[in-house]
Structure 1
Amino acid sequence: MQTQTHPLLCATLGTERHLSSFHYGPQGGQKVYIQASLHADELPGMLVAWALRRKLAALEAAGRLQGEIVLVPVANPVGLNQQVLGQLLGRFETNSGQNFNRNFHDLAALIEPGIEAQLNSDPAHNREVVRNALATALAAQMPQTELASMRLALQRLSYDADIVLDLHCDWDAAMHLYTNPGLWPAVEPLARYLGAKASLLALNSVGNPFDEIHSFCWSDLRQRFGSRFPVPDGSISVTIELRSQRDVSHEFAEHDAQAIIEYLTQREVISGTAAPLPELEFAATPLAGVEPLIAPCSGVLVFRAPLGVWLEAGEPIADIVDPLSDQVVTLKSSVAGVMYARHIARLATTGMEVARIAGTQAFRTGSLLSA
């Protein structure tokens, strides 16, 4: 194992932050990149990364790693320092208001003007052309803020990975994940090992989140050049939502870390025989089929349905209780699906997104992610 340190731009006098990456296994084969807690207040991923470090060290010592696995357990030291009155605010940078998991470099846009002349009829050759161009383009970027330097450092570590796993969690949620529709056959075993209750598919959810910029790069290039030159899927990229912010336990971390190990064994990054695939409880669905439930008024929020189970259209999801007027408003979904995430607050404010239901039919367009 090798440890690398990646300094970030200093935001203010007397401060300095850096990223730490841990590199296991030999270079030259498949490359896997795993990071945790890009939203700094989403801590389950850090504990999973801690569990993975021990597993990877043992596998490396046993000679079972067939490729390089890069692990970044703390992907957002900037957000970790945003403690306000004892509350960790890790989703948005307080200086700019930007979501830490948006606005990464559009990789295809960085290289498209110059690569067409280098492509040919060999997919493996074209993969190397794209990755070499990405290396050159990312090396040439000159970030001007600490946040931009952090995003760039993460992309420089991950741009050439065959598998990219971005570990997150939601406020209150069942295990779920996001990936590109074209990658679903390769990602489904991971969903099975994790026990995902929802698997949400989108080619471009808008906003350039971290996992998506990797897979979308290859999809975009294939759309532009695929009729003349074969462009492979160069990156299996997935956002894994490790349940809820409060779900920080050794038991969960052990389960989730082992699920990732089994998946990497199934992908032949780790030698050996992977565990049998569990059943997938619910089929993958389009992210554009998700129905956000919006509170039409304010009041005490009381959920009537549990997370991670199938709900029929019209089934009661939650009540909003106004103790002043005695009014009770019951929220119901218009689609059948799994309620995979819900707000952690129990005071609903008018217009607040209360929960999300994974429906089977796409009906939304535009930006598909929450803020």
Structure 2
Amino acid sequence: MLPIISTIPLRQMASGDILSLQVYKFIGATSGKKVYIQSNLHGAEIVGNAVIQRLIEFLWMLDNTDLIGEVWLLPVCNPMGTNQRSHHFSDGRYCTYEAKDWNRIFWDYEKDISKDNDRENQLLAFAKSQINCNVGEIKKNFLDAIKQRFSTLTDKINSANGVPYTEKFRYKLQSLSLDADYLIDIHSSTNQGLNYLYYFRDRQESAKYFLLDFGILLDEYDGDAFDEAFIKPWLALEECFLQLGRTVKFDVEAWTLELGRGMEMIPDSVTKGVRGVKNYLKQKGVLSEDFKLDEFPQKNNQMSFKTRSQVIKYYAPVGGMISSRVALGTEVQAGEQVYQILNFNKQGKLPTTVDVFAIINGFVYDVSINQSVNEGEFVLGII
């Protein structure tokens, strides 16, 4: 099955060169769900590009009757961040010109309608108007409302006085993904991380389809991240229906896969990412019932679920060098030493060591890539 390949101009540089996006659209013979998958929103987090390349190879080999609906893939979705360097090191987490995290800039329908001073009333009024409709009708009507509001941004984006680049950039990405049913944003740890995913409430069963060891529930979020901005309005509408005494759950899902660490395409992380996405497509009915995936489990994967509010991050109490630290993935008990800092004080004294102990039971899921730390810099995360 050949994809439709769309090249989208994104930004013209001072040199006259133009940065572009390239989207690969695989469309099945039968209509169905739309899956949107992107990677490399943070410049150093490149592993998702390898995942997408292998997914393109996989989908290329399918017959169009094997695909129900469509899958859109956007590798290297942030060429500005991807190209950013400091000596040998990739960074690209922040737009240096505007000092904004590339994954904290996105348009949030809920926040936008709050400008009208009646966000809750608008959502609740919409829910009341749809109380006797079936879920499919409600979903279509609400998506139309989101699209209509999003379309009001077009004039601003194209205005004669222009807009900051981050606004144009987010507009491009969200215009591609706004009508998706399932959204997958592939990231890596900025430091050294395990393979896991972030998910939203009431989506635990689908989370298991990715076949990873653990997932983190985003019980705290503000809507500015890519996955949050996508699903937040739908979660809010579900709450409105609950207030009205009706339980409604939309088949709309958003995921952030965290695979390995930045600046590296770790083979194991790539393989797990590809395997998980393929199984997710199969379990969600995007791959036909007759299509068989080889060597995949027949039952849901057993995952450990945590919440973001359970994460404890440890920051250096003094400046110095990390002389010892527990390994990534280690189970620790409260009171157990997790790292030690060699401190070169400037007080006319000999160097000292500072021991840091776990304050909760858990396991180490993220550790700093740099073992030289200033006071207050991240060292490790335990969940």
Give TM-score, length-normalised by structure 1. 0.87
CA displacement, residues 337-362 of structure 1 (integer Å, 9 cap, x when unaligned):
1211111111021011211111xxxx
Does residue 87 (structure 1) correspond to residue 89 (structure 2)? The answer is yes
Q: Secondary structure at the match of 1:30?
A: strand
Matches of 2:227 and 2:14 in 1, distance apart?
Answer: 29
Indicate the percent of aligned positions where both proteins have the same amino acid.
Answer: 25
Matched with 1:367 is: none
Matches of 1:279 and 1:235 in 2, distance apart?
Answer: 19
Q: Is the 8 A contact 1:103 1:209 kept in 2?
A: yes
Alignment of 1:1-371 (within 5 A): 1-10=3-12, 12=14, 14-26=16-28, 28-59=31-62, 61=63, 63-110=65-112, 113=122, 116=126, 119-121=130-132, 122-141=134-153, 142-143=156-157, 144-170=163-189, 171-190=191-210, 193=211, 195-196=212-213, 198-206=214-222, 208-228=224-244, 231-271=248-288, 272-273=291-292, 275-276=296-297, 283-323=304-344, 325-358=350-383
Matches of 1:173 and 1:317 in 2, distance apart?
Answer: 16
Matched with 1:363 is: none
Q: Secondary structure at the match of 1:71?
A: strand
Shift of 1:237: 0.6
Q: Secondary structure at the match of 1:38?
A: coil
Q: Secondary structure at the match of 1:181?
A: coil
CA displacement, residues 197-243 of structure 1 (integer Å, 9 cap, x when unaligned):
x3111244225111112221111122234434765334211111001
Q: Secondary structure at the match of 2:380?
A: strand
Matches of 2:278 and 2:243 in 1, distance apart?
Answer: 37
- Quickly say closer, same or farther: Cα 1:315–1:207, change in 2 above 3 A: farther
Matches of 1:19 and 1:206 in 2, distance apart?
Answer: 27
CA displacement, residues 251-303 of structure 1 (integer Å, 9 cap, x when unaligned):
54234212211121111111234521688575201100100111100111134
- Quickly say closer, same or farther: Cα 1:110–1:226, change in 2 above 3 A: farther
Matches of 1:47 and 1:322 in 2, distance apart?
Answer: 40
Matched with 2:116 is: none
Q: Which amino acid aligns with 1:105?
A: W
Q: Is the 8 A contact 1:127 1:231 kept in 2?
A: no
Q: Secondary structure at the match of 2:230?
A: helix
CA displacement, residues 294-329 of structure 1 (integer Å, 9 cap, x when unaligned):
110011113432212322222221111125633111
Q: Secondary structure at the match of 2:93?
A: coil
Q: Secondary structure at the match of 1:53?
A: helix
Matches of 2:138 and 2:34 in 1, distance apart?
Answer: 17
- Quickly say closer, same or farther: Cα 1:5–1:138, change in 2 above 3 A: farther
Matched with 1:368 is: none
Q: Secondary structure at the match of 1:42?
A: coil
- Quickly say closer, same or farther: Cα 1:254–1:213, change in 2 above 3 A: same
Q: Which amino acid aligns with 1:218?
A: W
- Quickly say closer, same or farther: Cα 1:251–1:175, change in 2 above 3 A: closer
Q: Which amino acid aligns with 2:342?
A: V
Matches of 2:64 and 2:356 in 1, distance apart?
Answer: 54
Q: Which amino acid aligns with 1:133?
A: A
Q: Is the 8 A contact 2:313 2:382 kept in 1?
A: yes
Q: Is the 8 A contact 1:3 1:21 kept in 2?
A: yes
Shift of 1:98: 0.2
Unaligned segments of structure 2, at least 5 residues:
114-118, 158-162
- Quickly say closer, same or farther: Cα 1:251–1:227, change in 2 above 3 A: closer
Q: Secondary structure at the match of 1:157?
A: helix
Name the Cα RMSD after superposition. 2.4
